[in-house]
Amino acid sequence: MKQQDTENIKPAIEESWYQVLKDTFDAPYFYKLKLFLLEEKKRYRIYPPGNKIFEAFNLTPFDKVKVVILGQDPYHGHGQAHGLCFSVQEGIKPPPSLVNIFKELSDDLGIPPSDNGNLSSWARQGVLLLNATLTVRAAQAGSHQKKGWEIFTDTVIKTLSKQKEGLIFLLWGNYAQAKSALIDKTHHHILKAPHPSPLSAFNGFFGCKHFSKTNLLLEKQNKKPINWRLENKQSLIE
């Protein structure tokens, strides 16, 4: 593919996001990132599928964002990742961190744990489920870190912080909490807790009550609270 053709490829991202991020899509680093991804796809299986890379943005337009949950990497197992942090596609067994998210949701709001790990219904209500890195090689965690995605997603966080008011950022774990430096704390709310991973969930993620706290903060702003309940699905793929 010629350089000019690569530069002119418009990302398959929802239009309101394209408009606020247009400058970063035109930046040299993003061109290098596109070249990197084109080469990776020739040699490896990449997750999530190409049409799902910007799914978090496509399900949660810029003007609809009310809550931001930050993750790090997409899942790298077959059929799991679909562009939303912590979420897996329907029919896939929820991974351990997501199971712990459901446990805390149950303890916090009395919502029974779901066997459906697809969090798209949260995204459609204004919860931006943003990973810091948006792609990964199959079975190689962290393989697309420091290739440009972090510059892009840091720009997303800074743009949200600058152009919106009263967002609620849920920062779980040290990696996500480091992003608090990008957020104007005088205009937004930040809720911190340990990561929901089995390695750290018992150190304070359980009992953080972030789901009820988020809804209280939304209600104080006269915004509609999030319905965190997910429909259960059958026929899980182990």
Per-residue pLDDT tens over the stretch 135-178: 999 999 999 999 999 999 999 999 999 999 999 999 999 999 99
**Cα separation, 29 vs 72, whole angstroms:** 20
Torsion of CA 46, 49, 54, 59, to 10 degrees: -150
**Cα separation, 206 vs 202, whole angstroms:** 6
Count of alpha carbons within 13 Å of 29, Cβ hemisphere only? 11
Q: Do 159 and 31 contact (CB within 8 A), yes or no?
A: no
Mean pLDDT of the chain: 94
Q: Give kind and range of the element (H or E) at residue 59.
A: helix 55-59
pLDDT confidence band for 233 (50 / 70 / 90): low
DSSP 51: G
pLDDT confidence band for 229 (50 / 70 / 90): very high
pTM: 0.94
What single string gives the DSSP state of each residue in 138-161? TTBTTTTTTSSHHHHHHHHHHHHH
The amino acid occupying position 36 is F
- Is pLDDT at 3 greater than 50 in this prediction? no
Q: What are the tens digits of pLDDT across the range 73-102?
A: 999 999 999 999 999 999 999 999 999 999
**Cα separation, 16 vs 62, whole angstroms:** 6
Two tokens, residue 71: 């993750």
DSSP 77: S
Q: What are the tens digits of pLDDT across the range 24-72?
A: 999 999 999 999 999 999 999 999 999 999 999 999 999 999 999 999 9
Q: From start to end of 167-233, where are the E strands? A: 168-172, 189-193
Which one of the listed residues 23, 63, 73, 154 is annotated catalytic?
A: 73
Q: Do 115 and 233 contact (CB within 8 A), yes or no?
A: yes
Residue 190 phi/psi, 5° resolution? -120, 125
Residue 107 falls in the annotated catalytic set: no
How large a percentage of the chain has pLDDT more than 90? 91
Residue 130 phi/psi, 5° resolution? -105, 120
Count of alpha carbons within 13 Å of 193, Cβ hemisphere only? 25
Q: What are the tens digits of pLDDT across the range 174-220?
A: 999 999 999 999 999 999 999 999 999 999 999 999 999 999 999 99
